[in-house]
Structure 1
Amino acid sequence: MSNTLGDFLRELRGKESLRSVSERIDGRLSHSYISDLEKGTSRRGTVINPTPEALKILSEAYNVNYDKLMSLAGYIEEKDSPSLSNKQMTVAAHIDDDVSDEQMEDILNYIDFIKQKNSKKD
């Protein structure tokens, strides 16, 4: 079973420990809860559905678009934006907040350009 939200959260966290993330958000979410979200199931084996509040905290912790997390969790439909891969979203999530929407679009288009350029070499 695919756990798109969990995979995306795990990618955003990178090598940072679960405890470190929990500490960085002042314990508003426990490290075990974040782990459950990444796995998509609770320790009891039941499917876990994060609350919008938990997603808001994570969006701030990882500096990622809240609507993207809400979409991955199934709360909202993604807006009329092009579908982005998890890796593209990870790159986008780590770009400073002062980047305009137009600049962000240019960055994502450049990523696509490089991918296409490299695929033509193969």
Structure 2
Amino acid sequence: MVILGELLRELRGKESLRSVSKRAGVSHNYLSILEKGVDPRTGAPAKASPDTLRSLSRAYNYSYKDLMYAAGYSEDDQTTQDIESVSKSINAIDDLKELIMRYDDEQIIEMYKHKSNGEDLKEEQIKNILSYVRFVLKDS
């Protein structure tokens, strides 16, 4: 079994901790602790939460299942987390529907910084996405 810290260091490569942490939405200190595998304050093994692993999975474009395995989670743990994730996704879809029905494209563009794979989306790309989502939501 691959140790999570070694895998995270390998995935990060020469990229800075701060860069990855910003993209993943975790602190660079916490990412450093995960890579070292030990919490220096307590000496206890560092344990990443499934939510943190999901964020890192997205940031590195790496398999969430493989990160869960490397972190020592079992299949049952992953199934529970997947169910919770689906529940959060349903709530996020409801929130998205409300946002899109309430505001026009320009207001949404002003309210949020839109990114994909760590890169800012152009206004035209955002408008295309919003147009598509409105089209899909029209039938639901």
TM range, smaller chain? 0.5 to 0.7
Change (3 A) 1:23 1:31: same
Unaligned runs of 5+ in 1: 78-122
Unaligned runs of 5+ in 2: 76-140
Aligned residues: 74
**Could you tell me which amino acid in structure 1 is paired with residue 32 of structure 2?**
S
- Note if 1:42 corresponds to 2:33: no
- Note if 1:59 corresponds to 2:57: yes
Question: What CA distance in whole angstroms lies between the structure 1 residues aligned with 2:72 and 2:57?
Answer: 15
Q: Which structure would you say has the larger Rg?
A: 2
Please tell me the root mean square deviation across aligned C-alpha atoms, in Å: 1.6
Q: Which has the higher contact order (CA 8 A, sep 6+)?
A: 1
Question: What CA distance in whole angstroms lies between the structure 2 residues aligned with 1:22 and 1:39?
Answer: 15
Q: Which has the higher helix share?
A: 2
Q: TM-score, normalised by structure 2?
A: 0.50
Deviations 1:56-92 (A, max 9, x none): 0000000000000001111125xxxxxxxxxxxxxxx
Runs of 4+ in 1 over 6 A off after TM superposition: none
Deviations 1:25-64 (A, max 9, x none): 3xx2100000000000112122111100000000000000
